[in-house]
Amino acid sequence: MWNIAIATIKRNQQSNLRAYPWTFTLGHILDGAYLVLVSYFSYTYLIRGEVDSTFAAYTGTGDYLTFVIIGGLLNVFSVSMMMNVSRALITEWREGTLEALLLSPSSRNGYFIGNAVQQLYRSGFELIVVVSVGLLAGLRLGSVHLPSVLLGAALYLLACYAMALVLGSIMLYTRDTFFVQNTLFAITALLCGFQFPREYLPGFLQAAGELFPLTGSLQLLRNALLIGERTNIKMVLPILSLCAVYIAIGMWSNRRIERKMFERF
């Protein structure tokens, strides 16, 4: 499996450098910088630095700017990770290489892990650049609990990977990327609490947001960064359970769709 992952990383990296070395990366950096600047100008000139007491009660802090910048950065990161991992198989189909991939005895887990790792260091570079913009705009991380941050980051990556597998199977089935991915990203932006506390949403929308592993992992990671909250096992288990369900559904549905596509070749 790991040989397949390494080979996939090398192939994707060569393809990216030859075909579009900076377009995707620059686009995501601009998106992240735009979110940071919009947050800054809204906080400074629209609400004039005034945050009501309910915000502090919901988030544990009155630092709206840091809260929303962290959410914006993680949103851009999750979109970048999920979009590129989920588009892997449909890109193979569009480029005419899916048949060769399906005929090969390569591990499908290794293939997806390779795509995820290759996208991780690309997205990590984008995140570092945008974080520097956020620090200039007012991002302040005063009480960070490092072990909880590392655990929250690992869970967040796992959540992105799990959701990307399901998203990829839907893309392959519908033969569409633009509508499917942007619909999911719009829903998660609303329900997962990237830009505002989820408590502001109606109860049924809060319950709907719990169906995504991104919701819990985002909350754990942001709380560890923002207020130094320590993560315990009771917080982790629901996220791991959701990720396991998503991964199982994603791998099962991908194999069924691949089999149907192979029968058509």
Question: What are the distances in angstroms from CA 243 to CA 15, 41, 129, 145, 158?
Answer: 30, 36, 29, 24, 7
Q: At what angle do helices 108-137 and 2-19 cross, to 10 degrees?
A: 50
Output phi, psi for 23, to 5 deg: -65, -55
pLDDT given at position 264: 59
Q: Measured between alpha carbons, how far is 201 from 172 in angstroms, rounded to an integer?
A: 32
pLDDT over threshold 60, residue 265: no
Check if the beta carbon of residue 191 is closer than 8 Å to that of residue 205.
yes
pTM (2 d.p.):
0.89
Question: In this predicted model, which residue has the larger pLDDT, 116 or 8?
Answer: 116
> What integer best gives the mean pLDDT of the chain?
84
For residues 61 and 81, give the distance between their C-alpha atoms in angstroms, rounded to a whole number: 29
